[in-house]
Structure 1
């Protein structure tokens, strides 16, 4: 089964912010632009008019536009970005170097206060992918950079990164990633 997942549009005022599950707004024109792109893609490739989104408005709002155009909208909390806990929504400049060094030193299992570790994100992503892997139709989704990275690594049978330097750059805002969901295994 194929998953076609677009990264959400760039949120307003996200520059310099530790952005995980903080719910930031997106310019309406950017939301419509991505919805138009997804609608055209589905039409050209004769894909089902079903869209999966996270509950975060930078993903959800694209799905709502598509729902107004006849798409079936499915929302799943499992599609949300990594939860950075107390860091989430804070300016990176307000997070101490010592805290960031601690995170980098324990990258896989660093437990963000009231958040989740990278291992927990991978577990959440893996669960959703396995649940969807047996769907009869290709899947269209709007997701988040960290979630998409984790999904790509799982699909490619790569281990959860032990070092921050092993983490790939996120897909660009609005970029499409295509993943084959036949064999998902976590390499922890």
Structure 2
């Protein structure tokens, strides 16, 4: 089974602002560039799974026809982490003590009262298990956090270990980038 993970295009948000579950649009020119690049490289006819957040869902919907794929299946389990009341706040405005508390417990702490990395890892593991049962290749349009957790899950890690690995390793996944997982 081959899973091709795709990160969404860059969303319309100022640098230095915390966002995860917030539903942000993408600049039309960014979307167009990403569509051209992905249409040229992704395989045809595979099912598309997408986070329901518009920065992913819009890309998935517009990829379906050129990739000769069925309409994308939107799955909330692959949405980005929920930062609670940190969402859409400048990182510099979040109290240092709160950020330090998160740094002290990257796996279990719920930033802004939202979702812990462990909670996110649980839903990502459930999504991955469903894909494994289907035993078919697929394209998954999602977020850097989801991609890092899917990579850890695909390596056979349990949710707590997935969360620890993802939380301890900063991502280097560019907007519109792909990552292929083989099993």
TM-score between both structures, scaled by the size of structure 2: 0.87
Number of aligned positions between the proteins:
178
Contact kept? 2:47, 2:137, Cα under 8 Å: no
C-alpha offsets along residues 112-149 of structure 1, whole Å, 9 cap, x if unaligned?
Answer: 34411110011010000010113243111211011111
Contact kept? 1:107, 1:163, Cα under 8 Å: no
Q: Which residue is 1:62 aligned to?
A: 59
* 2:157 counterpart of 1:155: no
| Cα separation, 2, equivalents of 1:41 and 1:61 | 18
C-alpha offsets along residues 80-116 of structure 1, whole Å, 9 cap, x if unaligned?
Answer: 0011111112110110111000001111100234411
What root-mean-square deviation, in Å, do the aligned CA atoms of Structure 1 and Structure 2 show?
Answer: 2.1
| Cα separation, 2, equivalents of 1:164 and 1:66 | 28
More moved, 69-78 vs 156-165: 156-165
1:1-188 to 2 correspondences below 5 Å: 1-42=1-42, 45=43, 47-69=44-66, 70-72=68-70, 73-158=72-157, 159-162=161-164, 166-180=168-182, 182=183
More moved, 28-37 vs 71-80: 28-37
| Cα pair distance change 1:48/1:6, threshold 3 Å | same
User: Which ranges of structure 2 fall in alignment gaps of 5 or more residues?
Assistant: none
Q: What's the CA shift for 1:22?
A: 0.8
| Cα pair distance change 1:162/1:149, threshold 3 Å | closer
| Cα separation, 2, equivalents of 1:133 and 1:33 | 31
User: Which ranges of structure 1 fall in alignment gaps of 5 or more residues?
Assistant: 183-188
Contact kept? 2:53, 2:79, Cα under 8 Å: yes
C-alpha offsets along residues 1-58 of structure 1, whole Å, 9 cap, x if unaligned?
Answer: 111011111112241111101111111122122223333223xx4x424321111111
Q: What's the CA shift for 1:67?
A: 3.6
| Cα separation, 2, equivalents of 1:61 and 1:25 | 9
Contact kept? 2:108, 2:117, Cα under 8 Å: yes
| Cα pair distance change 1:49/1:179, threshold 3 Å | closer
Contact kept? 1:8, 1:173, Cα under 8 Å: yes
Q: Give the structure with the larger helix fraction.
A: 2
